[in-house]
A and B are shown apart, each in its own frame.
Chain A
Amino acid sequence: MKKLLLAALPLALLATIPSAEAHRAWLVPSSTVLATEDSWVTFDAAVSNEIFHFDYRPMSIENFQVIGPTGSNYTLVNHALGELRGQADLQLSDAGTYRIYTASHALTARWVDADGQRGMYPPRGQQATVAGLQAALPANAQELTISESSRRIETFVTAGAPSLQALTPSGVGLELHPITHPNDLFAGEMAEFQLLIDGEPAVGAEIVIIRAHTRFRDNQEEIELATDDQGHFTITWPQAGLYWLNASYRDDRAKAPATQRVGSYTATFEVLPF
C-alpha cells in the first residue's frame, strides 16, 4: 500500500523534501542524565552526512525551544553559529525532564503551469497561507500537489528523576509519544515509543535508527522499523551510545486544500551501558 502510494506520486514531489533532509539534521546534548539541579548542558546542532560529525553545514539553535518540568519558561543561551556547527547552552534550573525542540508545520504546493514550467509555494523563506497559495496558483495548474508538511527535531535531557510534564504531545505534526522514558534507555533493554500524526497514531511510519560514529565503521548499521496499527514501535538497543532516530510519515488525510500529510521527525537518544 505504502509503495503503491509512493509510486503514484509525481516525481516533482520528491524535490519538495527540504534539501537539509538529503543530509541528516540533528541536535546533540553534552549529557542527558544529570545529578543536580542548575547543571548546564551544551548542545551542538548540524546537518551532516556522518551521524553526529560536523562534516557539512551548521544548524542554528536560535529557533529551538525548551519545555521543561514547569513549562516553557526556560531559555537557551550562549548561541553561536560556526561554519560547521551551531551551539547553545541550557541550565537545568528545576529537577526533571526537558525537551529541546524545533517544530514547523507548513502548507507547501508544487505544480506545472500551462507552459510546462514547474511552480512551488511558498517561495523559499516565506510563510505559507491559504490565501497566499490561492493567489500564487496559476488558473490551470497541472499535477498539483498540496502538502501539509511537518518537521520536528528534538532531544531530551533530565536532571534528577525523569519526569513526564515535558513529554506531552502537542497534537500537531509528526511527534513522539514515549512509552519508555527517553532518558531511561539502557543497552540490551527494549524501549517502546508511539508516533503520532496530529495527535492520532501514525500507522506505518518508517523509522531509521543509526548509532553514532558511523565514520569509524564500514557500515551504517541502520535499524529500520515501521510503526504498527497503533503507531507503536519497539527497539532493543544493541549497545550503549548516542543514537539518531528519523521517522517519516505520509498519508492522504490532510485538511483541505492540502491533499497529503507529510511528516518528518528526528531525535537524538543517549543509551547507557547496563
Chain B
Amino acid sequence: MVRLTHQACLAAFVGTLSLSASAEAIPSMTLDIEIPRLAVAEYHRPYVAIWLADERHQAVANLNVWYDISMANQEGETWLKDLRQWWRRSGRTLDLPVDGVSGATRAPGVHQVSFTQMAGDGTVFAQLPPGQYFIHVEAVREVGGREMLSFPVTFPLSTNTYSQQGQHELGKVQLTIQNEGDF
C-alpha cells in the first residue's frame, strides 16, 4: 500500500520534472530492515520510523512510519509518541496519516523499502543542500523496548552501502544508496 502510493507520487513527479531532468543522476535509497523474532510472553509488532535529519538533528524528510494504522478511531496513533526521537523531531507536527509515509506494522523478517529520487513524503533528495545528514531508524514495541540506529550520510548522495546490527528491537539494518550519476 505504501509502495503503491509512493510509486504514484514518483510517477507524477517524474512527469513534471522530465523537461528539466536530462542526464542528471537519479539518487535512490534502499533500506533492508530486519525485525527480529523475539521469544517474549507478549509480542506486539514494533512501531518503526525512518526519517532523514540534518546535522542539527532537525528532520528534513520522512521516509516511512509503521504503526497500527487501521485501528478504529486512529487509536494506533496514541503510541506514536513512544517513537520518542521521531515524535520530537517530526511526528508531533504531522497531520497523520501521511500519504506515502504511514504504513502498517511489519511481522518479524526482513523488509525492504526503497525510495527513488524522493523520500516517502515527497522531499526530493537532489534538492537538499549539500552536507552531513542522518538516516534514523527507530523502533519501539508495546510492552517491549526501544532502539534507534543512525546512519551518517553525505549529500549529494553517492553510491554506498552501510550496515548496522541492532541489539534487541532491530536486527540487521542495511542502507544502500545508489546514484546513477556516479560512474
Contact = CB atoms under 8 A, between A and B. Distances in A.
Interface string A132-157: 00000000000000000000000000
A273 interface: yes
Interface string A20-45: 00000000000001111001000000
A161 B84 contact: no
B3 interface: no
Contacts of A186: 88
A272 B88 CA distance: 10
B93 interface: yes
A35 B88 contact: no
B37 interface: no
A36 B78 CA distance: 6
Contacts of B167: none
Interface in A158-174: 160-162
Given A33-B81, A36-B77, A161-B93, A184 B87 contact: no
A184 B88 contact: yes
Interface string A239-274: 000000000000000000000000000000000111
A35 B80 contact: yes
A33 B91 CA distance: 12
B84 A35 contact: no
A273 B74 CA distance: 26
Contacts, number: 29
B44 interface: no
Interface string B48-91: 00000000000000000000000000100111110011011001
B168 interface: no
Given A184-B88, A272-B84, A273-B84, A35 B93 contact: no
Contact of B92 (A39, A160, A273): A160
Contacts of B84: 33, 272-273
Contact of A36 (B74, B85, B88, B93): B74
Contacts of A39: 78
26 contacts: A33-B84, A33-B87, A33-B92, A34-B78, A34-B81, A35-B77, A35-B78, A35-B79, A35-B80, A35-B81, A35-B87, A35-B91, A35-B92, A36-B74, A36-B77, A36-B78, A39-B78, A160-B92, A161-B92, A161-B93, A162-B92, A184-B88, A272-B84, A272-B88, A273-B84, A274-B85
